[in-house]
């Protein structure tokens, strides 16, 4: 299976001199094309820093990040926005939808920026809306739809440009349990039916149990990883809790 993402010995420092803080320490791993991987750890473990470095929002202090063969750490600053737009999709805890645009317009925004012909934009948006079950709300505004529908709109927006990698940052953090489960079913469907490669940061064991592999961070380093394999999601959930217990004192961070 082809590696779509390769993290090679990355480190991240903040501050200087006596106030130097090491957020990431010699982190290396690969993500295969079509994989759904979770990143877990307590607050301060480095998981958000890792996501920010992969997403090009932040830069590494050492090491390299390769996305589909391109060394992200070597991209010139003036080219970063275009690289991000063409290769990455984002699902945030706060939906980050524009209230003055309809759901249709929110989803199509990236395609419009990339100057796709109007007919192709319409076709691609409606196809994605059908796959995610939001065709009937395309012409509504975000304030007119439920939290779960907003998040499915965010998923459609993340997928519409056919990115190489989807990055999800605590995607269920702002949702109730019912909406969370609906969203996670949608993300799993994106992975299984649309072959989306997904990297999801979460500290919620229930959310993480939807992934196929989980990396656990502690003090900026990879503590361990577990694979779901043929386990049921219930059994995998139990294994996640076991690792969180091993981490020591971090179980309070699992909602």
How confident is the model over 46-89, as pLDDT tens digits?
Answer: 999 999 999 999 999 999 999 999 999 999 989 998 899 889 99
Q: How many CB atoms lie under 10 A from the CB of residue 79?
A: 10
- Rounded to an integer, what distance in angstroms lies between the CA atom of residue 194 and that of residue 96? 23
Q: How many CB atoms lie under 10 A from the CB of residue 40?
A: 30
Q: Which of 35, 39, 17 is nearest to 27 (CA)?
A: 39
Res 249 pLDDT > 60: no
Query: Is the pTM of the predicted complex or chain greater than 0.75?
Result: yes
Burial of 30 (0-12, 13-18, 19+ CB in 10 A): middle
Q: Which of 175, 161, 166 is nearest to 93 (CA)?
A: 175
**pLDDT value of position 63:** 96
Res 237 pLDDT > 90: yes
Q: What would the two tokens of residue 122 be?
A: 């319409």
Q: How confident is the model at residue 194 (pLDDT cuts 50, 70, 90)?
A: confident
Structural domains of the chain, with CATH: 3-99+157-253 (3.40.50.300)
């Amino acid at each position: 299976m082809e590696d779509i993402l390769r993290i090679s010995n990355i480190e991240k420092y903040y501050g200087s001199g006596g106030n130097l803080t090491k957020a990431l320490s010699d982190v290396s791993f690969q993500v295969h094309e079509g994989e759904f991987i979770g990143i877990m750890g307590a607050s301060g473990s480095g998981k958000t820093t890792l996501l920010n470095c992969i997403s090009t929002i932040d830069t590494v202090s050492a090491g390299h990040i390769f996305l589909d063969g391109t060394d992200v750490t070597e991209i010139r600053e003036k080219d970063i926005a275009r690289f991000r737009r063409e290769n990455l999709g984002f699902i945030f805890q706060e939906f980050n939808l524009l209230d003055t645009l309809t759901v249709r317009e929110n989803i199509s925004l990236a395609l419009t920026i990339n100057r796709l012909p109007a007919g192709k934009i319409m076709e691609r948006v409606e196809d994605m809306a059908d796959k995610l079950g939001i065709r009937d709300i395309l012409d509504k505004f975000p304030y007119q739809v439920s939290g779960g529908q907003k998040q499915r709109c965010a998923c459609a927006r993340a997928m519409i440009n056919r990115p190489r990698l989807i990055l999800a940052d605590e995607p269920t953090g702002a949702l109730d349990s019912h909406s969370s489960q609906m969203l996670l079913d949608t993300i799993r469907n994106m992975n299984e039916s649309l072959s989306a490669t997904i990297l999801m940061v979460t500290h919620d064991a229930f959310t993480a149990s939807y992934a196929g592999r989980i990396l656990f961070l502690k003090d900026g380093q990879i503590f361990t990883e577990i694979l779901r394999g043929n386990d049921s999601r219930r059994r995998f959930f139990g294994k996640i809790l076991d690792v969180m217990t091993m981490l020591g004192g971090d179980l309070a961070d699992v909602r």
